[in-house]
Structure 1
Amino acid sequence: MSAADEVLDVVDESDRVVGQAPRGEVYARGLIHRCVFVRVRDAEGRTFIHRRTPGKLLFPSMYDMFVGGVVGAGESYDAAALREAEEELGVRGLSRPEPVLRFLYDSGGVAGKWWSAVYEVRCTLPVNPQVEEVAWHGFVTDAELERRLPEWEWVPDGLAAYERLRAHRRR
């Protein structure tokens, strides 16, 4: 099954399930769906960053400071966060990601809106990122990440999640 055929829950502005549709249709029609964003830190507290592969449906070849993706039909945010983190990092036995915040992201006409659940997890396991998802990766300090923000082309939803996470941490 291709990524476009994956079935997602369609939700309303209050994050209530109102139906289901294949991902390709959800994107094409701009339907509201659910996504997870997992900030991964290593044992030294550095953040995992990566560049997406050119074949991604959304935001190909852009940088991201989160792993994650869409929440499948009938799947919980928590289950999707763990599944996506393990898949993209290429690990098994990761601790359960901790939920931090949730917000409704508007892609500005790219692919509609999606409820975005932001998580954090510590990964002390050696990573072997999924080659279908990750073209390049590394762990960087917070200072290095801040230096790279204006230099690299970041996925817009991940950047929005990062800004909200930073604001949340300052409170």
Structure 2
Amino acid sequence: MGELIERVDVQDHVIGVVERGDAVRNGWYYRMSMVLCRDHDGRYLVHQRPKNSSRFPGQYSWLVAGAVGVGESYEAAAGRELAEEMGVTAAVTPLFKFLCDGELGPYWFAVHEATIDPVQLQPSREEIGWCDWLAERELTVLVDQWPFVSDSRDAFERYLKYRSAVV
């Protein structure tokens, strides 16, 4: 049996439990949670997926992301993904959520933020091929130049709008 997730409706209400693969194949709504990581200098963590990865091989992202499990909150999923992919535990702060028509189907995408000490990172070799810290101006340029996961690019544009509206 594959990864179990909650199938949700367009208002993000749970309507059942399904395998993630079935949700993707059938275009059912489900939940994803992500964390943008910054260091104490305000730089963003950017990573590349391994070239042999089944999802988005060799592509870049500025988010640590994964599906929300059955009975799991968005925030708990964000913290779990951070620990699984980057080997670090940190408080995650919810920022915003949006309905994403992504490459892996339509889903609710919840964006969180965490401040990380770079020396504590222990990236998972199965999930992370390369990672580094970039200033916002560098990231803004590279999002358009490097092959970023499209959902990551979409979330970056929304994040910039969100941040400018909050400030």
Q: Same fold (TM over 0.5)?
A: yes
Q: Give the corresponding residue for 1:9.
A: 6
Q: Give the corresponding residue for 1:19.
A: 16
Mapped to 1, the partners of 2:55 and 2:11 lie a distance apart of 24
Deviation sequence 1:41-100 (CA, Å, 0-9, x none): 012211000011234443222100011211011111010011111211112x42x21000
Where does 1:92-103 land on structure 2 (aligned, <5 Å)? 93-94=89-90, 96-103=91-98
Q: Give the corresponding residue for 1:117.
A: 110
Identity across the alignment (%): 37
1:48 is aligned, of 45, 48, 56, to 45
1:150 is aligned, of 133, 136, 144, to 144
Task: State TM-score, norm by structure 1.
Answer: 0.90
Mapped to 2, the partners of 1:167 and 1:35 lie a distance apart of 20
Q: Runs ≥4 in structure 1, deviation > 6 angstroms?
A: none
Mapped to 1, the partners of 2:133 and 2:60 lie a distance apart of 13
2:99 is aligned, of 77, 95, 104, to 104
Q: Give the corresponding residue for 2:80.
A: 83
Aligned-residue RMSD, C-alpha: 1.4
Mapped to 2, the partners of 1:77 and 1:41 lie a distance apart of 19
Mapped to 1, the partners of 2:73 and 2:61 lie a distance apart of 23
Give the gaps of 5 or more residues in structure 1: none
Q: Give the corresponding residue for 2:128.
A: 134
Give the gaps of 5 or more residues in structure 2: none
- Quote how far apart the aligned CAs of 1:140 are: 0.6
Aligned residues: 164
Question: SS of the counterpart of 2:148?
Answer: coil
Q: Which amino acid aligns with 2:92?
A: P
Question: SS of the counterpart of 1:147?
Answer: helix
Q: Which amino acid aligns with 1:86?
A: A
2:159 is aligned, of 152, 158, 165, to 165
Question: SS of the counterpart of 1:149?
Answer: helix
Question: SS of the counterpart of 1:150?
Answer: helix
